[in-house]
Amino acid sequence: MGLLKKLVVAAVVLGGAGAAVGWYLTAPDGLSAAEIASLPAGDAARGERVFWTGGCTSCHAAPQAEGDAKLQLVGGLGLHTPFGTFVAPNISSHAEDGIGGWSAGDFANAMLRGVSPEGEHYYPAFPYGSYARMTTADVADLFAFMKTLPAVEGRAPDHALGFPFNIRRGVGMWKLLYLSPDPVVTLAADATDAARRGQYLVEGPGHCGECHTPRTFDGGPRKAEWLAGAAAAEGSGFVPNITPGDDGIGAWSESEIITFFKDGFTPDFDSPGGAMAAVQKNIAHLPDEDQAAIAAYLKAIPALPDGYTRPAAQ
């Protein structure tokens, strides 16, 4: 065999081996049978607290829903991004159109690993990158509460994504790079218990970093700029810096942060707009100690400059 043919054969073999390794590495990685078996029994009363922390209604209730309609999690909200349009699914207790037919293991796999009951990757527009930091107890409690909510008929439309983003297997590479249960920020050794509780709420179920942290070209969070603000996923706006520096909320006291959570008013008597308006309404449902814990964490993290370029003053 000539040298050229040998080189071609070698290239084909190496290419095939590389593809096989890539296919293996990007496979959906769900919880083990032992991990699923060890899931605790959920408590719906505790799960309601997790539900409002996670702000499930913001994406999964019908757009503009108010009152009891916010608990009808029919989905349908579209998130228009540079990768395409992601559509929030029905996660009501409907057995066919929602998650009423799911097991506790199915729910835990979705929340902690981003894996569907069919064994496929979920896109990280569903913020399991943050939910991966949740405890199994909170996941079980949330599932117990979700089962008490109305069953709503109707399937949301499919995502509208172009090539190559419509190939779900590629999400496995994203997970290798970015999916981790580890905390993002290393708090000071003398950080208060409230700040540590706030870290769990913000970095885990509250998934605040999903909007307030800038992203890489492939949609991963730039963790070195945690909560430093970012270009909005939709449109041309910006999500503000919420670190405790001059560019962020350094001028806010903890009590002023808590007042914002409760009433929706900033120290300047402004009110949130866009998606944050719904987030504030969700946080208002939390008990005082959780609101105080989030405020304590936001004052304990590193102060950072903006993670985006501020628009020029007019």
Summarised one tens digit per residue, pLDDT across range 287-314 is 999 999 999 999 999 999 999 876 655 4
Report which DSSP code applies to 13.
Answer: H
Q: What is the pLDDT of residue 109?
A: 98
Q: What is the pLDDT of residue 237?
A: 82
Question: How far is it, in rounded angstroms, from Cα 198 to Cα 60?
Answer: 24
**What are the CA-CA distances from residue 188 to residues 132, 137, 196, 253 (Å)?**
23, 26, 10, 19
Q: State the number of CA atoms in the 13 A half-sphere of 143 facing the CB.
A: 25
Q: What is the pLDDT of residue 187?
A: 97
Bridge partners of 277, per DSSP, are none
Secondary structure of residue 239 in the 3-state scheme: strand
Name the nearest CA neighbour of 293 among 302, 283, 303, 281: 283
Tokens 């909200």 correspond to what residue?
A: 77
Residue segments in the chain with a per-residue pLDDT below the cut of 70: 1-24, 235, 310-314
Task: Write down the pTM of the prediction.
Answer: 0.90
**pLDDT tens, residue by residue, 50-74:** 999 999 999 999 877 888 889 999 9
Question: How far is it, in rounded angstroms, from Cα 275 to Cα 59?
Answer: 9
Name the nearest CA neighbour of 153 among 240, 196, 221, 94: 94
Q: What is the pLDDT of residue 9?
A: 47
